[in-house]
Amino acid sequence: MSQAFESGCDDERGKSPIGWYSGKTIILVAVVLLAVLALTQVVVADGGPHDNLLPQADSCAGCHRAHSAESGSVLQANSGNALCLTCHDGAGSTKTASTHANSNLESPLLHFSRVEELFSLDCVTCHNPHAPQDNNSLIRDTVNESDVVFTARTGLNSFDEDGDDTSDSDDICVTCHINSLNNQGYPMAIHDGGNHAPSPAYSGDLRDVDCIICHPHDPDGDSSSEDGFMTCAYGGFGCHGLFPNGSVAPNRNGAHEAHYNAVYGPHLTNCDDCHISVTVNDGHNDGTIMFAGNQTLATTTVCDPCHSQGGVYDGVAEAKSEWLLGTRVSCKGCHDAGTSIILGVAAPNVVGDGTTYGYYVSGHGMRDSVECSDCHDEDTVHLDGNSRTYVAGSTSYQSSYRLDYSMTIPLSVGDLFGEDKFELCFQCHYYDAIFDNFSPYQTNFRDENDATNSHRQHLIAGAAKWDSDWDMTIDSRISCTACHNVHGSPVPRGIRHGELISTPGTTDKVPALDFRWYESNGSTITTVLSESRYGDMPPLGGMGMGSIADSKVCNGCHGGMGEITYYRVPILGLTDLEPPEMSNQSPVDTGIDVLVDGNLTFTLSDSEMGVDWTTFQIQLSGNGGYAQSYTDDDTGIVTKTGTAASYDVTVNPGVDFRYGETITVTVDVDDLAPVPNSMVPPAWSFTTEEDTTAPDISDLDPLNGAFDVPLDGNLTFTLSDGESGVDWDTFYIEFNAPGYNQSYNESSSEVEKTGNPASYDVTVNPSVDFPNGETVAVTVTVDDRAVTPNNLTYDSWSFSTVNNAPDTPSNTLPSNGATGVSVTPTLESSAFSDPDSGDTHEGSQWQITVDQGNYTSSVYDSGFTIDLTSHNVAISLGNSTTYYWHVRHQDDHEKWSAYSTETSFTTSP
């Protein structure tokens, strides 16, 4: 080694530059290096440190330099952390790291009570770059004098093994973050034993959560997260970042997203714009941040400047109601007569006064047919701090007003005329009707004396007459929006009256275009020039130049020649924008005690084109299940009188209402306009009279208390209800007697009915005969059809049964007085007969005696036998003896007949 230095390092003078070291010095350097390595307890993993990530021939040389070291332990970087980051910078490695420190306290990001002293940890405090790869991320076996077992990022042997942060020294984070007030770092007590705090935002066991999800170690340029602590900043982690996403500390989506990051929003940059200022000392670890002035959502006024208050529509109330839901507020929440000022710009009034004019009264939203989003792109930049983004010749009219479709404005003198110049308007309006110059006209803006379509005349005019961007300089030919304001006007057809274009809070541009006309007869004057003056609307050229004193609507362009008039008869089919109306309802709305068989009467009227009777429909629905609907074709139920201007209508429902039912009525009808207007059904309901009487039972057969009722008899009776009617589905009947119980309902085959709910005649034929000689109790229950049913329970009906004895039989063989009869004769009787229909022959009894009329000591008695009408005597009688005999029959209810009349026979010798 000494020779290698001497031969390879001589200078031009033949001297070695290290000659003065001598071999002894070289040995000293080697000893020092070995000592340093010994002191650091180097344990080299198989394959070299970090699996030989860098291509140096010698693994140690990847980090250590004997001659060019910049820090202790002969490291080639000026610090241990700097050395680690030469690889772990997010570019050359999948793993990144940053100094675990809190040196950037200028950002108030830690929301707990204690302020940390400045500290910074070296990577090697926790990681051992020389350790074998038998521990996750080369974590040392001992950290902060605590043994560590770290083989997983979650679960067992992880950041938090079992949630008990005070005793598990093998949890890597707990080695420093001990639940103690004198710990070296923030205690994990803020996790409440494995539960994330602040409570109650993220309660729950976090053992299965990787700590670095909330506490990133990667450098991302965010001062709050490059040191490993949580951040509240949008785009970072922590309480208001990507994880977790709770309801109390929400991710910045929804309301937060709309205020901070949404393209259409105000792009707030500071939490303090709305919330109290949060620093490391005062904190909000109770799960909430109060609004400015330490107010709650209900009491805060931070919403008031931006969301309109004091107007027709309460935008502040809407904003607060949608806050936690995260849904977008409506346009009307700012664009009404209240005070909505964002970035120094007042929101133009679109809602108007909500009564005589405004978008939902006289504008395109009057029939809920056109929403703001039908014309405007809601997802583009909206709040830019510029009160008039559109500047003629510099910016796009479409993008400045966020229009879904184009409008060629400014419309220059050389522009070819066509439908494409007004794309937005002609999504709904008819191009031909606006510009057709041939009679009959399809526009109401026309002069029949001159045979001109006035819309066409104005829009094809070649001269520039209009200030489209309101800078008091004429820049465009006339276009649709020069004269019309689709957001609403106190005058018809959305003529640009002054209210919605006035300076917010004033009426300084009223009346602007107060537009009227003459009837075609020339005698009915609807306006005069003095009534049609501007309210300082930007100039349209001509004499007036926009001044209140001189610029008289049309006169502004027409050169101050006096009153400008035009004549036409209105085409109602074009001007009918109002739907039919309903009035004179009977029963009145919310009426009570309405007859269940009552009629409905009302008036349908339309003062313009009239009512289109062919579109009439009525629906009747009750809260008790009633549902009927009829149309104009149901002539037996629906009748009308009058004309299309006003129909008096009567509806006699084909099905009676139910008692005590609330009936809701919905009437639909259109007018006769070419584009029909549908009536908005008014709220109309009424409640029918109450049914307080239960059904009645009558015409009982057998009568209550009857006796001798046949065992196989039927029951008949009548169920009636003169009000709501009998609800047959609730019918139930039960029979009870000793040893006997039978029950049936409306669906049983034993039950039949005829009639209708007002009166049912019922027959019940029990499948099992009644018991003999018993009293049978009958219970009948049934409800009526009232909304709140009345119940009949009739249990005062009983009757007694009887079984008539069979008819007395007669002896047929042997014939009376017969002789020479066998000593084992066969006896025969007449057939079984019973007065009870349906009774059957169950058995017989045969007796023989030698003492005429005395059977107490008979010579033969069969007892009960199933030999019904023929019986072989089971003994041998004596020869040459005269015998007497009789027989009786038993029915299937064990009732015996009387014995037959006695006859005799004589046996053979």
Confidence grade of residue 570 (pLDDT, cut at 50, 70, 90): low
- Percent of the chain at pLDDT exceeding 90: 33
- Percent of the chain at pLDDT exceeding 70: 67
Angle at 889 between CA 887 and CA 890, to 5 degrees: 145
Tokens of 399: 């993008």
**Do 613 and 644 form a contact (C-beta atoms < 8 A)?**
yes
Residues, the chain: 909
Question: pLDDT tens for residues 216-262?
Answer: 555 444 433 334 455 554 344 445 543 333 334 444 456 777 887 78
**Do 863 and 873 form a contact (C-beta atoms < 8 A)?**
no
Question: pLDDT tens for residues 468-489?
Answer: 887 778 888 888 888 888 998 8
**Do 289 and 271 form a contact (C-beta atoms < 8 A)?**
yes
What is the C-alpha separation between 163 and 148, in angstroms, rounded?
A: 16
What is the C-alpha separation between 839 and 896, in angstroms, rounded?
A: 12
Report the run of H or E that residue 639 belongs to, with start and end. strand 638-643
Whether omega for the bond prior to residue 440 falls within 30 degrees of 0, making it cis, is: yes
Question: pLDDT tens for residues 189-219?
Answer: 445 443 333 333 344 455 556 666 556 555 4
Q: 0.75 cut: is pTM over it?
A: no
What is the C-alpha separation between 860 and 883, in angstroms, rounded?
A: 10
Q: If you write DSSP's letter for every residue of 169-190 in order, what string do you get?
A: TTSTGGGTS-SSTT-SS--GGG
What is the C-alpha separation between 665 and 667, in angstroms, rounded?
A: 7
Which long-range contacts does 449-456 make (Cβ < 8 Å, 24+ apart)?
Answer: 449/520, 449/566, 449/567, 450/566, 454/566
Is pLDDT of 535 > 50? no
Q: What integer is the mean pLDDT of 548-561? A: 50
Query: 3-state DSSP call for residue 198?
Result: coil
**Do 550 and 560 form a contact (C-beta atoms < 8 A)?**
yes
Is pLDDT of 632 > 80? yes
Residue bearing the bigger pLDDT, 434 or 40: 434
Buried/exposed code over 117-126 (b: 16+ C-beta within 10 A; e: otherwise): eeeeeebbbb
pLDDT at 95: 47
Question: pLDDT tens for residues 125-184?
Answer: 888 887 665 677 788 888 877 777 777 777 666 765 454 444 555 667 767 766 554 444
Confidence grade of residue 717 (pLDDT, cut at 50, 70, 90): very high
Confidence grade of residue 399 (pLDDT, cut at 50, 70, 90): very high
Which amino acid does the sequence have at 619? Q
Least confident of 24-28, 289-293, 761-765: 24-28
Q: How far is CA 805 from the centre of its chain?
A: 75
**Do 511 and 498 form a contact (C-beta atoms < 8 A)?**
yes
Q: Is 863 left (phi over 0), alpha (psi -120 to 50) or beta?
A: left
Nearest to 781 by CA among 661, 697, 887: 697
Nearest to 85 by CA among 255, 218, 281, 259: 218
Report the run of H or E that residue 903 belongs to, with start and end. strand 903-907
Is pLDDT of 845 > 90? yes
pLDDT at 16: 29
Nearest to 906 by CA among 877, 882, 885, 873: 882
Report how far apart, in Å, the C-alpha atoms of 575 and of each of 442, 493, 571 are. 10, 8, 7
Mean pLDDT over each residue of the chain, to the nearest integer = 76
β-pair partners for 147: 142
pLDDT at 542: 37
pLDDT at 183: 46
Is pLDDT of 681 > 80? yes
pLDDT at 200: 35
Report how far apart, in Å, the C-alpha atoms of 96 and of each of 99, 121, 212, 218, 224 are. 11, 16, 12, 5, 16
Question: pLDDT tens for residues 13-69?
Answer: 333 232 333 333 333 333 333 333 333 444 444 444 555 444 444 567 777 777 776
Is pLDDT of 188 > 60? no
Question: pLDDT tens for residues 306-351?
Answer: 998 888 888 999 888 887 676 788 999 999 887 788 988 888 889 9
pLDDT at 837: 74
Tokens of 377: 């792109």
Write phi, then psi, for 524 (nearest 5 degrees). -95, 105
Buried/exposed code over 465-479 (b: 16+ C-beta within 10 A; e: otherwise): bbbbbeeeebbbbbb
